[in-house]
Amino acid sequence: MNIEVCASPDLSGLFDLEGKVAVVVDILRATSCMTAGIAEGVSAIRPVSDLEVCRGLMSEDYVGAAERNGAKVDGFDIGNSPFSYMDPEMKGAKVAVTTTNGTVAIERSKSAERIIIGSFLNLSSVASYVRKLGLDVVIVCAGWKGRPNLEDTLFAGALAEKLAGNYESSCDSLLMAKVLWEKAKLDLSALVYKSAHVARLKRLNIGKDIELCMEIDRYGVVPEVNAEGEIVKAIF
Amino acid sequence: MNIEVCASPDLSGLFDLEGKVAVVVDILRATSCMTAGIAEGVSAIRPVSDLEVCRGLMSEDYVGAAERNGAKVDGFDIGNSPFSYMDPEMKGAKVAVTTTNGTVAIERSKSAERIIIGSFLNLSSVASYVRKLGLDVVIVCAGWKGRPNLEDTLFAGALAEKLAGNYESSCDSLLMAKVLWEKAKLDLSALVYKSAHVARLKRLNIGKDIELCMEIDRYGVVPEVNAEGEIVKAIF
């Protein structure tokens, strides 16, 4: 089986996703939120690109989650903090979510056979599920407004390490991700704290979020986009 | 001063090049060819995106250089080997060149204040010239058909190391390039030989080209795009 890395949603047109698994990753923080939410009992998450569509869904019993440029958007129930998704009151809830990068990456992965949600929080479970599906894999990094970023690339390297032996690749983005992960894995936060996105988030004072998003294998679930376009817990 | 890395020409729309220096890099092999050619006495190189435009220039006294997918295109004088540019018969010649990735990257950098040609062959000279210009820098990597590649990214890391102290950055692509270069620099070929592009070129049997393109500071020239759109030796 083959594995590739799409370093930015803006490059997704270069990848043929048909018949493949897209593993969408937006470590800080959309896919970490989705993982935490589904693990803690959120029943379904509907990713949408548009703020107004998201707002509309709030009148249909969805909790509205909206983030732009790292901050919660006024008028929505929650922003893009994993802790909001972990609130006991969210058990059983449905969430409609739009974010700067993560929901765009999911949208651009629509032609894939399967779309699953990856984060450090569920790294090993994603690897197990992907191995079980037995399809070619494209790791779709959300990046930041079209630019590749460090933390999503590191996740790609980490997942590639977990899949070694089962998957091969001639993709330079994957090769680079593996070298970076090899360098970073012993002290993930040390390198990630140098990233551009952490600098942006620091201004928003959410160090606790970042720390949580760096936790490896906190959860054993894999969120997956179902036929209705909602993210639910994959059964495997 | 600020420094950024555009990991692929397909992402160039995300970068504001106005008033900045674009350092275009296509290590394997377009910008290595240009560096070697200008250093060895080629008087001017006209980069064009289109094969037919390139062919037309051959009737105007240009040597025609054309490469697609790594191979020389039939009917042109030379392909994309630096050794062709180093031929003593090329002294004083003008070359019209079109390649799969490198000439595209130059084309996409047109809005920059200055466009200079970087390669490992002239790494230190590029750094000196950039420092002298004193403008913000965007390193534009040619990649492979829109995808980021290893060797161009490594060059970005190497140039960033040379410019350390004078330039700062909050660009994750640059941060990743620096970490990769730090890892690769003691044995550049070892890592580059794992890259997708080397695998492609190996099939074309041009190991000597690759070896040459990995040589650091073989030449002391900086090719630069002039007002007429031709690449000539920068005087500094």
Q: How far is CA A167 from CA A138, A162, B198, in A?
A: 11, 10, 20
Is the confidence at residue A207, as pLDDT, over 90? no
Is the confidence at residue B207, as pLDDT, over 90? no
User: Per-residue pLDDT tens for B168-183?
Assistant: 898 999 999 999 999 9
CB pairs under 8 A between A and B: 80
Sorted by where each starts, the structural domains of chain B and their CATH numbers stand as 3-223 (3.90.1560.10)
- Omega of the bond leading into A200 within 30 degrees of 0 (cis): no
Is the confidence at residue B127, as pLDDT, over 90? yes
pLDDT value of residue B70:
87
ipTM score of complex: 0.94
Split at pLDDT 50, 70, 90, the class of A205 is confident
By the 10 Å C-beta count (0-12 exposed, 13-18 middle, 19+ buried), A50 is classed as: exposed
User: Per-residue pLDDT tens for B35-63?
Assistant: 999 999 999 999 998 999 999 999 999 99
The pLDDT of B19-29, averaged and rounded, is 97
Q: Is A153 on the interface with B (CB under 8 A)?
A: yes
Query: Which of A7, A144, A184 is the closest to B7 by Cβ?
Result: A7
Tell me how far apart the alpha carbons of residues B37 and B77 are, in angstroms, rounded to a whole number.
15
- A153 vs B contacts (CB less than 8 Å): 172, 176
Tell me how far apart the alpha carbons of residues A117 and A25 are, in angstroms, rounded to a whole number.
6
pLDDT value of residue B199:
81
Q: Is B199 on the interface with A (CB under 8 A)?
A: yes
The phi, psi pair for B55, rounded to 5°, reads -60, -40
Q: Does B176 sit within 8 Å of A180, measured CB to CB? A: yes
Tell me how far apart the alpha carbons of residues A132 and A162 are, in angstroms, rounded to a whole number.
13
Tell me how far apart the alpha carbons of residues A87 and A106 are, in angstroms, rounded to a whole number.
24
User: What is the torsional sign of CA A12, B188, B155, B91?
Assistant: negative
Q: How far is CA B198 from CA B159, B204, B216, in A?
A: 22, 10, 18
Tell me how far apart the alpha carbons of residues A104 and A49 are, in angstroms, rounded to a whole number.
6
